[in-house]
């Protein structure tokens, strides 16, 4: 297939659903309990609800929405740090738009902007570097956020700033890495997963080899998946086929985009600029060892954490907020008491309601047959 509408073909989707139904009916475990397949990436969560995929699947398959939306897992204390930097009079704070409304303990970046902070939305870190060149008397801070997908563009911008000798540019680095997080999920006693849809965008950078431990040590199948409806359905079928055959392998459904070896140039920039933090806090998941990165010593002058004094305080989420349980797949978004009442996309209380890739936002926006059946929407 070549064109995008071919990956959204209803008739082919119907054939795949029939194949999935036939396959799942031959898996003995599916007669005892639903098979739990986690989509790691928020992009997949968005596709699953946008195209109504969850409602088309047989009841023997339960999709668990994982922690792959970087905005959703940003802890409140880090948002407070952003606001503290952004409210300094000498600072122009630059960020991707989807981080603007993530709630901090007192305010979001959007509210800080309304209060007078100079906060600007950008499409790339290079845009932030351009602002730095144009404003030599101001301090320009870029909010570096995201998994390995966005890490290379931040790294390349820092390398560019270093080569030009730019002195008024820095990065508040909140980049996170997927493999330790998957390990933490697999070690969690709360979760009983039978397979994974692997993240397509992250895998474009890191390739498929870093996931081998999932198959070898944890004996779980993973299929790196594309984002169109037929991609997702085919990947679910591939995971089921592995379960049926008693296999646990790392397969690549998204080979048209994801090279098995990843992107060498991007990996080289990442290795040059970043080192692993000992631990990093995730909203709803707590602290995960080696799951975040910071700038290496030769690039310390571009590190906003070393440049500015930060509150650096851990803030607990509101007690009624159940983002952690949703992120771990223990409950569905509509089972949170705040869903659709106190917490909506217009008035988000939790980060999962903010980003389009957040499970709560996707459920709210597109609804879900299961939720409708339960009378929750
Ligand atoms: S409804 Fe709001 S508070 Fe509840 S889990 Fe979702 S984002 Fe968090």
Residue 56: partners with Cβ closer than 8 Å, 6 or more residues away: 13, 17
Fold of 76-176+292-307: Rossmann fold (3.40.50)
Which pLDDT score is estimated for 173? 97
What does the pLDDT read at residue 352? 85
pLDDT at 161: 98
**Contacts of 339 by beta carbon, 8 Å cutoff, 6+ apart:** 333, 360, 363, 364, 376
Q: Domain limits of the chain? A: 76-176+292-307, 323-368
Confidence at residue 353, expressed as pLDDT on a 0 to 100 scale: 87
Please state, rounded to an integer, the average pLDDT across all residues of the chain: 91
DSSP state at residue 5: G
Atom of ligand 1 nearest to the CA of 322: 5
The reported pLDDT for the residue numbered 368 is: 54
- Position 370 scores a pLDDT of 47
- pLDDT tens-place string over residues 158-185: 999 999 999 999 999 999 999 998 998 8
Distance of CA 266 to the CA centre of its chain: 19
- pLDDT tens column, 75-100: 889 999 999 999 999 999 999 998 99
In the chain, what percentage of residues exceed pLDDT 90?
A: 68
Of 4 and 170, the structure prediction assigns the larger pLDDT to: 170
Is residue 189 very low, low, confident or very high in pLDDT (cuts 50, 70, 90)?
confident
Please list the alpha-helical segments (H only) found in the chain.
10-24, 29-32, 42-50, 53-56, 76-86, 109-114, 125-134, 151-164, 178-187, 200-206, 212-216, 229-245, 264-273, 304-307, 323-327, 359-366, 369-373
The dihedral built from the CA positions of residue 322, 328, 334 and 335, taken in this order, carries a sign that is: negative
Give the C-alpha separation, 363 to 127, whole Å. Answer: 33
Ligand 1 center–CA 298 separation, angstroms = 40
- Could you tell me which residue, 127 or 370, shows the higher pLDDT? 127
Higher-scoring residue by pLDDT: 64, 132? 132
Write down the pLDDT at residue 122. Answer: 98
Ligand 1: distance of its center to the CA of 338 in Å? Answer: 6
Lining ligand 1 with CB less than 6 A are: 321-323, 326, 333, 336, 338-339, 343, 349-350, 352-353, 360
More confident residue, 70 or 22: 22
**Contact by Cβ (8 Å): 270, 152:** yes
Q: What's the predicted TM-score (pTM) here? A: 0.89
Residue 8's pLDDT band (cuts 50, 70, 90): very high
The residue whose CB lies within 8 Å of the most ligand 1 atoms, and thus the one to mutate among 45, 285, 323, is 323
Q: Residue 236: CB partners within 8 Å, gap ≥ 6?
A: 20, 37, 57, 61, 197
User: Using CA of residue 347, residue 291, residue 140, residue 124, what is the dihedral sign?
Assistant: negative
Given a contact cutoff of 8 angstroms between Cβ atoms, the answer to whether 271 and 286 are in contact is no
Window from 69-73, 119-123, 218-222, 334-338 with minimum mean pLDDT: 69-73
Cα distance between residue 376 and residue 335, in whole Å: 8
């Amino acid at each position: 297939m070549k064109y995008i509408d071919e990956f959204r073909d209803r008739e082919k989707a119907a054939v795949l659903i029939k194949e999935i139904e036939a396959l799942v009916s031959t898996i003995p475990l599916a007669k005892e309990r639903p098979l739990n397949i986690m989509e790691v990436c928020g992009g997949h969560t968005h596709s699953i609800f946008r195209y109504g995929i969850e409602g088309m699947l047989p009841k023997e398959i339960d999709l668990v929405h994982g922690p792959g939306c970087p905005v959703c897992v940003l802890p409140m204390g880090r948002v407070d740090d952003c606001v503290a930097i952004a409210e300094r009079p000498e600072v122009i704070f630059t960020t991707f738009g989807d981080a603007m409304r993530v709630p901090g303990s007192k305010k979001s970046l959007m509210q800080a902007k309304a209060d007078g902070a100079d906060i600007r939305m950008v499409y790339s870190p290079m845009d932030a570097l351009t602002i730095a060149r144009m404003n030599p008397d101001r301090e320009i801070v870029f909010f570096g956020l995201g998994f390995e997908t966005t890490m290379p563009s931040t790294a390349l911008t820092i390398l560019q700033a270093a080569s030009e000798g730019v002195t008024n540019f820095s990065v508040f680095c909140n980049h996170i890495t997927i493999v330790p997080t998957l390990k933490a999920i697999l070690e969690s006693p709360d979760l009983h997963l039978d397979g994974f849809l692997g993240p397509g965008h992250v895998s474009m950078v890191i390739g498929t080899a870093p996931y081998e431990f999932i198959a070898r040590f944890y004996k779980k199948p993973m299929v790196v998946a594309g984002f169109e409806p037929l991609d997702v359905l085919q990947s679910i079928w591939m995971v089921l086929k592995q379960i049926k055959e008693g296999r646990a392998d790392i397969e690549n459904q998204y080979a048209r985009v994801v090279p098995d070896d990843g992107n060498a140039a991007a990996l080289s920039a990442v290795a040059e600029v970043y080192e692993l933090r000992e631990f990093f806090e995730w909203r709803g998941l707590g602290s995960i060892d080696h799951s975040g990165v910071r700038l290496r010593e030769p690039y310390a002058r571009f590190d906003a954490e070393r440049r500015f004094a930060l509150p650096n305080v851990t803030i607990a989420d509101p007690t009624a907020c159940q983002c952690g349980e949703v992120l771990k797949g223990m409950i569905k978004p509509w089972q949170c008491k705040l869903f659709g009442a106190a917490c909506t996309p217009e008035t988000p209380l939790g980060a999962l309601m903010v980003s389009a890739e957040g499970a709560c936002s996707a459920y709210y926006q597109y609804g879900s047959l299961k939720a409708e059946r339960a009378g929750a929407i």
